[in-house]
């Protein structure tokens, strides 16, 4: 009988073990509570995903600046936050044994016009959605200083030896993404 490898653990080059090969992709839920923080609705959603037995949960994008959101219900994590709602969220997501990776995000030009916010992007090139392009806010080029300030908003997680434990850095056309593993902290 052939047993699917889907349910075998996967060890990453950095030693992290993902208990199986089923992953929940990043999907922004737009379910943040007042103050743009996770509350029981997001906690119970992630607990349900966790109890389903998935090996890796990548959160929906978590914004680093309340002035730059993809949607009104976006979760925002910044230095001034009370971490309790985020800890509860992490606990719920980890309750089934999955690795949980938070997708930390600055939306760049991917901002809906209805948000009434400035779409701070690496360059002033608008999103082209054909006849639907007006739904997206016009992109405004950031200065180098603004880009540096934005990068400073990205949390740097460190392990007990003080070494940074950011798992991945990607600069994409539309988005600055920094995926950090918060399952061990």
Ligand X SMILES: Cc1cc2nc3c(=O)[nH]c(=O)nc-3n(C[C@H](O)[C@H](O)[C@H](O)COP(=O)(O)O)c2cc1C
We find the least distance from the C-beta atom of residue 14 to ligand X, in angstroms, to be 21
Nearer to ligand X, 26 or 165 (CB): 26
Q: Which residues contact 40 (CB under 8 A, 6 or more apart)?
A: none
Nearer to ligand X, 27 or 149 (CB): 27
22 and 6 Cβ atoms separated by less than 8 Å: yes
We find the least distance from the C-beta atom of residue 49 to ligand X, in angstroms, to be 13
Nearer to ligand X, 69 or 157 (CB): 69
We find the least distance from the C-beta atom of residue 163 to ligand X, in angstroms, to be 26
Return the number of other C-beta atoms located less than 10 Å from residue 11's C-beta: 9
DSSP 105: E
Residues that bind ligand X (CB under 6 A): 25-28, 60-61, 103
Cα distance between residue 111 and residue 96, in whole Å: 34
Nearer to ligand X, 3 or 167 (CB): 167
Which residue is listed with tokens 């690496």?
Answer: 122
We find the least distance from the C-beta atom of residue 103 to ligand X, in angstroms, to be 6
Q: What share of the chain is helix, strand, coil (3-state, %, to 5)?
A: 25, 25, 50
């Amino acid at each position: 009988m052939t047993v699917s490898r889907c349910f075998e653990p996967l060890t990453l080059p950095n030693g992290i073990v993902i208990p199986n090969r089923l992953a929940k992709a990043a999907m922004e839920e737009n379910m943040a509570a007042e103050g743009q923080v996770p509350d029981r609705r997001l906690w119970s959603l992630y607990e349900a995903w966790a109890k389903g037995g998935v090996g890796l949960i990548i959160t929906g994008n978590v914004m680093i600046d309340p002035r730059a959101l993809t949607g009104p219900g976006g979760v925002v994590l910044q230095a001034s936050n009370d971490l309790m709602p985020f800890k509860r969220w992490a606990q719920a997501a980890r309750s089934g044994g999955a690795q949980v990776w938070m997708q930390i995000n600055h939306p760049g030009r991917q901002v809906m016009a209805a948000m009434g916010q400035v779409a701070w992007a690496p360059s002033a090139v608008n999103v082209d959605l054909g006849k639907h392009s007006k739904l997206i806010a016009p992109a405004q080029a950031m200065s180098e200083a603004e880009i540096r300030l934005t990068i400073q908003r990205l949390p740097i997680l460190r392990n007990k030896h003080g070494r940074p434990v950011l798992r991945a850095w990607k600069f994409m056309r539309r988005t600055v993404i920094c995926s950090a593993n918060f399952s061990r902290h």
